[in-house]
Amino acid sequence: MAQTMPDGATSDEPTDHSPPRPLLSPGVTRPLRPWLLLAPAIVFVTGLFLVPLAGILRLSVVGPDGFTLEAYGAFFTDPFYLRILGRTLAVALTVTVFCILLGYPIAYVAARYGGRLGTALILIVTMSFWTSFLARTYAWMVILGSQGLLSTVLRGLGWEEPPQLLFTGIAANIGMIHILLPFMVLSLFAVMQRIDPSLLKASAGLGATPFQTFRTVFLPLSAPGIINGSALVFIVCLGFYVTPELLGGPQDQMIARLIGSQIEQLLDWREAATMAAVLLAVTLALFAVYDHFFGLDRLWRS
Amino acid sequence: MHQPSPDPFLRLEGVSKRYAGGALRAVDDVSIDIRRGEFLSLLGPSGSGKTTTLMMIAGFELPSDGRIVLSGRDIVGIPAHRRNFGMVFQNYALFPHMTVFDNVAYPLRLRKLAPDAIAETVGRYLEMVGLTSYADRRPNALSGGQQQRVALARALVFDPAVVLMDEPLGALDKNLREQLQFEIKALQRKLGITLIYVTHDQSEAMTMSDRIAVFNAGHIEQIAAPIEIYRRPATRFVGEFVGESNMFEATVSDPQAGVVSTAIGPVRAAAPLDCARDAPVLAMIRPELIRPADAPPADNGTTLTVASIVHFGDRVAVEGSTADGHTVRLRLSDREAAALAPGADLAVSWRPDDVHLLVP
Amino acid sequence: MTGGSAWSRGAPLLPRLLAVAVAAFVLLPMLLVVVMSFGEGTSLRFPPSAFTLDSYAAYVTRPDWMQPTLNSFVIALASAAITLLVTTPAAFAFALFDFPGKRLVRLMIMMPLMVPFIVMALAYFFFFGRTGLLNTMTGVVIAHACLSVPIVFLIQSANLKSFDWTLMRASASCGAGPLTSFRHVALPLLRPSFLVAGLFAFITSFDETVIALFISGRAASTLPRRMFESVRQESDPVVAVVSTLLFVVVVVAALAVAWRQSRKQ
């Protein structure tokens, strides 16, 4: 069997596992066919996604007298906007760090030790992942509200005036961590699951303590999972609207909420468009950096 | 090398396939005439162009050059599904969502046969491959050998003009492979099928084929009957790829007498040579044709020091070396090898008839 | 889910405790919602003053909840169907052909996954405002279909990668033309995975909040939009019921998948 494989498995042309080309018998329309198949998607995405997107970008650079970068100048010189941009990045970073810290133990125990506990852990995370994030945001309103679970418990413990948590930045951060944690855990788990157990045994066999094995073998090998998970969490967090809007306070504006309130109040189109363009640029820049170092395909797989 | 036959049924004329803008020649100027009812094997190592050639015949690859002519008509422009060729693949390629019956019936339904005619024909072919009682099973409930029998029935059921097989037994174990070789050959004879069979297994090609086309690096080295390929390989590659051989570089010393000089002494062939004196040639002697002798003769023989003895049960492979270190391989019977031990001297000889001279 | 046998010993205590604690942090808020759905009175008080099924009755009888639910189903079905129709041929093109500009087209198809939702909410708000699709179901369907394109594309590409293309050659050798082969061989075999891709598109649309919030209006309000308004403006306990129902669907589906996987092993 093994002897027959070298020739048996491959045809004479250089092949990988990609399908033989052409799959359907060669016909006259061969050069045309891919574009016929692609046409619906290209037309659809261009006409109904890219055109609206371009419309908003155009809006940001067109003033009463034609092309102008005035709005961008205003954005980047106004300390109010810069503070909001800075806070958005800081919040995204905080949420990402907490997701790593909370997510790593779950993924580690599930991937490295498996068993019933591992299955249960991953099942819980997966269920959370698929549950409507509005439902989860609502849960945190119940927990953190002034008449909510936490206040009730604290009052029961004798704290007469527990601090108001709902409608603060802390509440928004907790909610976002809870909602984005599954992204992190599943990214970590996917990578950790592929770590070859024999490497850890080899390390132990060479005299490393369990902690040394973890630090010098497991942790570095799980790094791609940390990077994938962090990229996902950070990027989603940058543009997060619903949860901060519902849990956060008016003084903890993030850029997405600012755009949202601009739409609601129909204020200045150009200003809203400019903020959207900045958010888009930051997001795409992060994707580009990721693509440069790791390739976007890896991100999509998770 | 390419002998035109009186009634070519399927004919490849100068067929080539180039990839990567012509840089890679997968198939290079291949010409074959295939007779009606013939079993032709395309034999060669991996990457030799045999599968690509088969795919061009099937219509799954477009030749870069050349013509493929079926009964006088060029079929290069005809898509695969209109060629009416049956095909058997290495991985069986049975439709997993259809029963065995539906798999075999598929070509007939496409040809819009009446349901009772389909039932009758499918039943006949399933009986032929011994799977009548499996008609309602799904392919994944069958063993590899059974699946390939279904594939066989599906490729034959619509009475195709030509049947193409691409390493059909490559995924099966040895015993099953031999059994199916026998069954395929029997079916091919019985139904008078024109069959083109791709394999890299020389013994498979030897036992089944009417003729073998030996492929190497995209071109055909030789097309001939199996025994002809074995006895009189046209090139060094064929001699070494098909069966075991002793191959000695030689120069012609007496063309009239058919004598060449080699590192193991003068070698005399049965027939005069059609070359000049001192022309370089190759002298090939199959291991089983070298016999132990009482004393080495003046030519066609030598004395060896036995280097290794390997028992295969039915035969013994012996390797000896000449005084100046050339290796000679022999096949002996158990009894002939009984007295031998490594380091012993062994006188051998061979008949002039058994010497095959190749002009490189 | 993992090769438990390879790791014969259990996890050390500290990581195990941490993992369980975090899992509780993940799970408990969702369970709290279930408790709230049986509560009486406003939606944000815990513990509820009394337990009742009133909110469930309210959910199924009140048109201001039933209509958005229905809208969400219609929008999710329609957008999933459109996405499948538009994206599947492209996935085939990517699986079957090499063509110039492949990377660029791929990037373009993946774009909707990279643009923040709030940016698209603004873009569609402006675009549909001009084309008269603001506050219509059609607008939401279009927006959601676009968002699902990359998701369906990724799933379909993976499906086509694992499809045994030799079967198409086998079908051709039996005498079937490309379209016949597609209908009799590829389609029946790929249909289950097409349905999975459709399901993902459906969920993407059903769950999407931000864009629907700004462009669906009262007339075409989706369920997430209704929930958003409910928790922001009212103290309507029905939101707990809807959240519970959404959670229960996920739990049932997850347990079913886990059960099937454990049976396979």
Measured in whole angstroms, how far is the alpha carbon of residue B190 from the centre of its chain? 21
Mean pLDDT of the region B88-96: 93
- A7, A13, A27: residue with CB nearest B79: A27
Q: How far apart are CA A56 and CA A63, in angstroms?
A: 13
Residues B63 and B203 occupy one common structural domain: yes
Average pLDDT in chain C: 90
Chain C hits for A280, CB-CB cut-off 8 Å, are 115-116, 119
**pLDDT by residue (tens digit) across A263-301?**
888 768 888 999 999 999 999 999 999 998 888 877 776
Chain A hits for C20, CB-CB cut-off 8 Å, are 117, 121
Is residue B230 situated within a structural domain? yes
B10-31 as b/e, with b when 16 or more CB fall inside 10 Å? Answer: bbbbebbbbeeeeeebbbbebb
DSSP, collapsed to helix, strand or coil, labels residue B284 as: strand
Is residue C240 situated within a structural domain? no
Mean pLDDT of the region B223-249: 93
- The pLDDT of residue B2: 45
Note whether C126 contacts A56, CB cutoff 8 Å: yes
| Position with higher pLDDT, A160 vs B304 | B304
Residues B279 and B179 occupy one common structural domain: no
- The pLDDT of residue A251: 83
What does the DSSP assignment read for C211-263? Answer: HHHHHSTTTT--HHHHHHHHHHH---THHHHHHHHHHHHHHHHHHHHHHHHHH
Q: How many CB atoms lie within 10 A of CB A255?
A: 26
Is residue C244 situated within a structural domain? no
Q: Which of B54, B78, B97, B98 to mutate to test the interface with C (most CBs of C within 10 A)?
A: B97
**pLDDT by residue (tens digit) across C195-235?**
999 999 999 999 999 999 999 988 889 999 999 999 888 67
Residues B200 and B249 occupy one common structural domain: no
**pLDDT by residue (tens digit) across A76-91?**
999 999 999 999 999 9
pLDDT-derived band at C10 (thresholds 50, 70, 90) equals: low
Q: How far is C20 from chain B (nearest CA, A)?
A: 42
Which of A5-14, A285-294, B145-154, C156-165 has maximum average pLDDT?
Answer: B145-154
Q: Are B152 and B125 in contact (CB under 8 A)?
A: no
Residues B181 and B250 occupy one common structural domain: no
Mean pLDDT of the region B199-220: 95
- What amino acid is encoded at C63 in this protein? P
> pLDDT over 90 for what percent of chain A?
57
Any bridge partners for residue B74, and if so which? B69
- The pLDDT of residue A32: 55
Q: Is the pLDDT of residue A182 over 50?
A: yes
Residues B61 and B148 occupy one common structural domain: yes
Number of compact structural domains in chain B:
2
Is residue B13 situated within a structural domain? yes
Is residue B1 situated within a structural domain? no
Residues C50 and C170 occupy one common structural domain: no
- Domain spanning A79-301: CATH superfamily: MetI-like (1.10.3720.10)
Chain A hits for C98, CB-CB cut-off 8 Å, are 21
Residues B53 and B110 occupy one common structural domain: yes
Measured in whole angstroms, how far is the alpha carbon of residue B184 from the centre of its chain? 15
Among B205, B240, B275, identify where a domain stops. Answer: B240
Among B240, B268, B286, identify where a domain stops. Answer: B240
Q: How far is A72 from chain C (nearest CA, A)?
A: 16
The CATH number of residue C87's host domain is: 1.10.3720.10
Sign of CA dihedral C10, C15, C17, C19: negative
Q: How far apart are CA B56 and CA C234, in angstroms?
A: 72
pLDDT-derived band at A11 (thresholds 50, 70, 90) equals: very low
- Antiparallel, parallel or unpaired: β B327-332 and B195-199: unpaired
C249-263 as b/e, with b when 16 or more CB fall inside 10 Å? Answer: ebbeebeeebeeeee
**pLDDT by residue (tens digit) across C16-47?**
999 999 999 999 999 999 998 998 877 677 78
Instruction: Give the residue numbers spanning the domain of B59.
Output: 8-240
Residues B166 and B97 occupy one common structural domain: yes
Among residues 108-147 of chain A, which lie with CB inside 8 Å of chain C? 108-115, 117-128, 130-143, 145, 147
- The pLDDT of residue A29: 39
- Tokens 């349905």 locate to C195
Chain B hits for C193, CB-CB cut-off 8 Å, are none
Is residue B3 situated within a structural domain? no
Is residue C265 situated within a structural domain? no
- Antiparallel, parallel or unpaired: β A66-67 and A62-63: antiparallel
DSSP, collapsed to helix, strand or coil, labels residue B239 as: helix
Q: Is C248 on the interface with A (CB under 8 A)?
A: no
Is residue B96 situated within a structural domain? yes
- The pLDDT of residue C97: 84
Is residue C4 situated within a structural domain? no
**pLDDT by residue (tens digit) across C52-70?**
898 999 999 999 999 999 9
Of the listed ranges A107-111, A150-154, B52-56, the one predicted with least confidence: A150-154
Is residue C243 situated within a structural domain? no
Is residue B135 situated within a structural domain? yes
Among B240, B257, B283, identify where a domain stops. Answer: B240
Of the listed ranges A111-120, B102-111, C1-10, the one predicted with least confidence: C1-10
Mean pLDDT of the region C116-144: 94
Residues B283 and B333 occupy one common structural domain: yes
pLDDT-derived band at A189 (thresholds 50, 70, 90) equals: very high
Number of compact structural domains in chain C:
2
Residues C136 and C26 occupy one common structural domain: no
- The pLDDT of residue A204: 86
Is residue B37 situated within a structural domain? yes
- The pLDDT of residue B6: 52
Q: How many CB atoms lie within 10 A of CB B175?
A: 9
Mean pLDDT of the region C94-107: 90
Residues B105 and B173 occupy one common structural domain: yes
- What amino acid is encoded at A232 in this protein? L
- Antiparallel, parallel or unpaired: β B301-311 and B345-349: antiparallel
- The pLDDT of residue A152: 86
Q: Are C156 and C116 in contact (CB under 8 A)?
A: no
Residues B26 and B94 occupy one common structural domain: yes
Instruction: Give the residue numbers spanning the domain of C22.
Output: 11-55
Q: Is A298 on the interface with C (CB under 8 A)?
A: no
Note whether A8 contacts B167, CB cutoff 8 Å: yes
